[in-house]
Amino acid sequence: MKTSEVAEAGVPHDEVQTTIDRYSDRFDNNKSNVGERVKDTAELSTEYYNLSTDFYLSGWGKMFHFGVRKKGESLRDSLVRYEIYLADKLQLREGEKCLDLGAGVGGPMMNIAKHTKATITGININSYQIEKGEKFVHEEGLEKYCSFLECNWMKMPFPDQSFDKAYGIEATCHAADKRTELFTEVNRLLKPGSLFALYEWVMTEKYNPADPEQQNIKRNIEIGDGISNLNTIEDVKKALADSGFELLECRNRAYECDKETPWYLAFKGKGFSLQELGTSPVGRVVVRNMLRFLETIRIVPKGSTKVHEVLELAADGLAKGGERDIFTPMMFYLARKK
């Protein structure tokens, strides 16, 4: 990570330490609980992405998600192909209006717009990510097709039936136990018969909530990724049904990765490219030590190392969850408004 990127973080330098401490307290059982985190989902997500966005941009690029990766394929190519698959499943066409839930800095939105020439509105509650995303959209010359709106996705300021299609790419896990409320709002905004596609972070049917080791893996993913409470495959199905959608397809695309290139490969330090060095075990140690030094000489704000340690929890939890097949970030759902 470049020191300039740390300096541009979404939290003022003198507030990084207090922000990461407050964020960590949300996952301290002595100071908070799941119910309180669910209640404060919007604040939790905002804090998390204010702290982590520049780390993601440095180590992962503009697309904050995973993908079905084939042997010999770069991480970036797998992510783009993963996005295009979703757009094709949506049957998204030129001139249609589409909603992107949790658009991040707009990487997927831009790739999908290039592929389809659809007009896409990216919903995001995080003003810092929108600032970054609007810059990227301008650099790509895609203002005609891509735009952002800063709002809470539980109450989006659009009339009924404003959109032809909608999707979310590994984002609505942040709605957690409020999924039905969110999906009901999406249903309101879609025209009758419209398609809604999702890539979801979920615990699989192999997850045993009574197993302490598996509980810890789940908790590390939640802490490291700003999620109040990870749902199950069936939880998402129920939320879609309860909010007025007909489920057309549901499958775990993690099983489509080649054996040599599982979705969590970048966290294992095997076969990674230079781009993925920062996500590997060795790379994370290098970054952690560098941040400690830079904090000491006051080039980066105090608390930067703790932010990185939170992201390391995520990497370890994701790799272990993937290896044990108790978690997937790649559960694909395709639904239609009734």
Cα 22 from chain centroid? 21
For the segment 92-117, the average pLDDT, to the nearest whole number, is 98
Question: pLDDT (tens digit, 9 = 90+) per residue, 11-22?
Answer: 666 667 776 777
Amino acid 123: pLDDT: 98
Task: Please write the tens of the pLDDT for every residue from 32-47.
Answer: 555 555 555 677 777 7
Measured from the Cβ of residue 297, the count of other Cβ atoms closer than 10 Å reads 7
Q: Considering the domain 75-220+227-257+326-337 in this protein, what is its CATH number? A: 3.40.50.150
Rounded distance between C-alpha atoms, residue 173 and residue 171, angstroms:
5
* Region 132-140 average pLDDT: 97
Q: For residue 183, give both structure tokens.
A: 């999906």
Contact 76/142 with Cβ under 8 angstroms?
no
CB of 122 within 8 A of CB of 147? yes
Q: What is the pLDDT of residue 267?
A: 81
Bridge-based pairing of strands 190-203 and 327-337 is antiparallel
DSSP secondary structure string, 294-335?
HHHTTSS-TTHHHHHHHHHHHHHHHHHHHHTTSEEEEEEEEE
Domain boundaries in the chain? 3-64+259-322, 75-220+227-257+326-337
Predicted TM-score of the model (pTM): 0.85
* Stretch among 88-97, 138-147, 218-227 having the lowest mean pLDDT: 218-227
CA angle 167, 168, 174 (to 5 degrees): 150
Provide mean pLDDT across the span 281-302. Answer: 57
Assess whether pLDDT exceeds 70 at residue 269: no
Cβ neighbours of 4 (radius 10 Å)? 9
Sign (positive/negative) of CA torsion 29, 30, 32, 33? positive
What is the pLDDT, as a whole number, of residue 180? Answer: 95
Whether residue 286 is predicted with pLDDT greater than 60 in this model: the reply is no
Token readout for 89 is 């499943």
CA of 28: how far to CAs of 219, 222, 276, in Å? Answer: 11, 12, 31
The helix (H) or strand (E) run that includes residue 285 is helix 281-296
Q: 210-226: buried (b, 16+ CB within 10 Å) or exposed (e) per residue?
A: eeeebeebbebbbbbbb
Mean pLDDT of the residues in the chain: 85
Give the C-alpha separation, 120 to 142, whole Å. 10
Banded pLDDT at 266 (limits 50, 70, 90): confident
For range 150-164, the mean pLDDT: 97
